[in-house]
Amino acid sequence: MHQIIFIAPTADLLEVVLRVCKKLFPQVHALQGLIGEGVRLALHHSRRGTSVFVSRGRTASAIRAAAIPDCIVVETPVTAYDYMRALKRAEHMGDRPAVVVFQEMAEPVSLVNDFCRPGARLYLPASEEDTERQVKAALQDGADVLVGGATACREAERLGLPAVQIQTGEEAVLQALREACRILEARTMDKVKNAFLRAAIEQNSAGVFVVDAALRVTMYSPPARQDEKSPGSSALIGKTLKEVWPELNLRGLLGGARRVREELAVFNGREVRYRLERIRAGDQEAGLVLSFNDAGESIPALDKNGSTQNGLQSFDYIIGSSTTMRRTIRTAKDYALTEAPLLISGEPGSGKTLFAESIHAYSRRAGGPFVTVPCALLSPQLLEAYFLGSGAPDGESPGVFEAARSGTLFFDEIADLDGHAQSLILDVLRSKVVRRTGSRSAVPVDLRIMAGTARDLAQRIRQGLFRAELYYALNVLHLHIPALHERTEDIAALAGRRLQAVARPGQGQTRFSADALLLLRRHFWAGNVRELYNIVERAAATSHVDLIEKKHLEDILRVNEPSVSLARELLRNDAIDSIRKAMLESGGRQREAAAKLGIDRSTLWRRMKKLGLR
């Protein structure tokens, strides 16, 4: 049985994978399978115990979409260097190249085209079946050579169009296999932890039931004093709590405001004192832990805290049951099991730092430090000493890279750093060592780097404000946090949770009326969750009733309206500046300007008309 299998879509990639595995990963098995065949191979080997699959492009997406139970898919990235190598080969075959790739490869292709080959037109098939139509479109548009993935090249050759396939290099394969090994190690550690937890529960002197959200037993410890009729632990797994404890009143166990409670009940004909704790994952009820002893004995309280060490937040504190938020949390948890650099994007106030802290708390580095660098507040004069530390004889001091060793270093709003600071980060990312200012000795640093940004880094690269090399080094993994207007169904839960948190001492169970919640959902939250929390806190401070009505919120939002107008005005000014710059660089030609902005010509025309530009 192989724990990791690399499914290569093409024979050429399989050859590269076998070469890398022979040198560095003899435990990894490699097979060839394109899209549907790749899914079939993954399903077959998952039944034999394989839990981590590595693949590329549409084949990786297809395996992930198959949702194979208890399996993780690691995608081999197609890098800008892979695409540039293919373009170089295509130069000898034609003058009008067309690039036909699936969406998974579009980002590095677009960035390279912006800088190196603006004449290479990009075509994005919506599916494998759509590839033929896109290749024919490229032929009709005058393309004389095609650059693309395996499916596109196969179709081009069938239609008589010369083709160059984008080949994945050894460096990308090496990176993906390292990630797969780290994920496997983390999953193995989780299984070991669960085994220890199960052993601890089974040896507990008190009785313990662990049940899921459906109130079915998942773990069980025999009661402290069993009678002869009490069944063994294996006999109870999967049974409902009603079946194993018929005397217990199940009404209200899940739901309600109380998270922990202690009461008396009868179990197996004797009176016991039980302690119940509801377990939540975000806004979802995950299950219960029931501990019980004879009524005369006390039950030790469980040390359950939603925060991690040093007050950091965890995924339990992220509120969101919308589809887009659940998907974001699921992706974030997958990323927490890796060690690769992570770029987190999202509007101001959307929760980038909260996600960064939660990913750290969910990772194997949770026991190490989490260090945040507030990039917008750094002084250029003190930057180098702050990043690298000081090695001066009169007083040595570590910088933030050393402070975050064995943990996570998070650069908040990294787009605000100047070119020198970007170079310092890139040097450490590449070398994994730090040289303090005034010292020649190198200090190794073992840490994970994350970065957050509210700005479009690709656009800042085009403007010469951000280094492309640093972007590629950070954007190995990318997590986008949805804005509040993209998940309005979460607003009621967010507002309700915040209202309870900021309620005045002695105040009753304050809540919003249905009309008030509807008003909150319809409001434009320029500042996202941060602005919503500010409004809720203001409502809690100024209301003197248990039910906050729509009228009270309207007064508060009316006072806050200038900040919303300002935010909209800033967004409008940014759009005007971007369009003017693109038109200037393209000599007033709308088609070229639209290509620079990543939109089509008709969209550019509509935006210019709306913004009053000519």
- What pLDDT, in 10s, does the model give residues 251-295? 656 555 556 666 667 777 666 777 777 777 656 777 888 877 654
Amino acid (one-letter) located at 394:
D
pLDDT at 395: 54
Q: What is the mean pLDDT of residues 508-527?
A: 85
pLDDT of 307 strictly over 70? no
Most confident of 244-248, 318-322, 378-382: 318-322
- H or E element in which residue 217 lies: strand 217-221
Q: Does 203 or 275 have the greater pLDDT score? A: 275
- One-letter identity of residue 325: M
The structure's pTM equals 0.46
One-letter amino acid of 111? L
pLDDT of residue 377: 77
Q: Which residue has the higher pLDDT, 576 or 199?
A: 576
Q: What is the pLDDT of residue 189?
A: 78
Q: Give yes or no for a contact between 44 and 5, defined as CB atoms under 8 angstroms apart.
A: no
* pLDDT given for residue 203 in this prediction: 55
- Banded model confidence at residue 74, pLDDT cuts 50, 70, 90: very high
- The angle, 0 to 180 degrees and rounded to 10, between the axes of the packed helices 352-362 and 323-336 is 50
| 298 has a pLDDT exceeding 50 | no
AA letter at 533: Y
Measured CA to CA, the distance from residue 595 to residue 424 in angstroms comes to 32
- Taking residues 54-73, report their average pLDDT: 90
50-54, 362-366, 394-398, 513-517: which is most confident: 50-54
pLDDT at 233: 43
Is the pLDDT at 302 greater than 70, yes or no? no
Measured between alpha carbons, how far is 213 from 522 in angstroms, rounded to an integer?
32
> What is the model's pLDDT at position 598?
65
Q: What pLDDT does 554 receive?
A: 85
- pLDDT at position 359, please? 93
Do 180 and 63 contact (CB within 8 A), yes or no? no
Q: Phi/psi of residue 578, each to 5°? A: -65, -45
For 374, 376, 421, 590, the CA distances from 381, given in Å and listed in that order, are 15, 14, 11, 42
* Residue 392 one-letter amino acid: A
Q: How far apart are CA 311 and CA 181, in angstroms?
A: 31
Q: Give the whole-angstrom CA distance, residue 44 versus residue 123.
A: 34
Torsion of the alpha carbons at 315, 321, 325 and 327, rounded to the nearest 10: 90
**Lowest-confidence segment of 23-27, 385-389, 458-462, 486-490 by average pLDDT:** 385-389
Q: Where is 597: in which H helix or E strand?
A: helix 590-597
The mean pLDDT value for 45-51 works out to: 92
Mean pLDDT of 455-460: 90
Reported as a single tens digit per residue, the pLDDT across 582-593 is 777 777 788 887
The pLDDT mean for the chain works out to 81
Using CA atoms, how far apart are residues 318 and 277, in angstroms rounded to an integer? Answer: 20
CA distance 182 to 358: 19
Backbone angles phi, psi at 322, to 5 degrees: -65, 160
Provide the residue type at 292 as one letter: F
pLDDT digits (tens, 9 = 90+) for 554-580: 888 875 554 444 555 555 666 676 777
Q: How confident is the model at residue 239, as a pLDDT?
A: 85
> pLDDT at position 117, please?
57
Cα–Cα dist 328/410, whole Å: 19
Q: What is the pLDDT of residue 6?
A: 97
Mean pLDDT of 547-552: 87
Task: Compute the distance between CA of residue 213 and CA of residue 216 in angstroms, rounded to an integer.
Answer: 7
Q: Which residues contact 491 (CB under 8 A, 6 or more apart)?
A: 484, 517, 520, 521, 532
Checking if the pLDDT of 299 tops 60, the result is no
Tell me the CA distances in angstroms from 529 to 359, 504, 613, one per residue in order: 19, 21, 33
Q: How far apart are CA 326 and CA 329, in angstroms?
A: 5
Please write the tens of the pLDDT for every residue from 167-194: 888 888 999 999 999 999 888 877 776 6
Q: 183: burial class by Cβ within 10 Å (0-12, 13-18, 19+)?
A: buried
Can you say how many angstroms the Cα of residue 153 is from the centroid of all Cα atoms in its chain?
32
Percent of the chain topping pLDDT 70? 81
Indicate if the pLDDT at residue 248 is higher than 80. no
pLDDT of residue 168: 87
| Cα within 13 Å of Cα(423), Cβ side | 5
At 570 the pLDDT is 53
CA atoms within 13 Å, Cβ hemisphere of 90:
28
What b/e sequence results for 333-348 when a residue is b if at least 16 CB atoms lie within 10 Å of its CB, and e otherwise? ebbbbbbbbbbbbbbe
Of 213-222, 260-269, 289-298, 518-527, give the lowest mean pLDDT range: 289-298
Does 164 score more than 90 pLDDT? yes
On the question of pLDDT at 410 being above 90, the answer is: yes
Residue whose token pair is 């948890």: 333
What's the CA angle centered on 78, arms 75 and 80, to 5 degrees? 150
User: Looking at residue 28, what is its pLDDT?
Assistant: 94
Q: Under a CB-based contact definition with an 8 Å cutoff, are residues 147 and 125 in contact?
A: no
Q: Are 367 and 193 in contact (CB under 8 A)?
A: no
DSSP secondary structure code for residue 312 in this structure? -
Strand 207-212 to strand 217-221: parallel, antiparallel, or no bridges (unpaired)? antiparallel
| Whether 113 contacts 122, CB under 8 Å | yes
Report the percent of the chain where pLDDT is more than 90.
Answer: 31
Partners of 412 in the β-ladder = 374, 452
How far is residue 361's CA from residue 370's CA, in Å, rounded to a whole number? 9
Give residue 206's pLDDT band: very low, low, confident or very high (50, 70, 90). Answer: low
pLDDT at position 314 over 70: yes
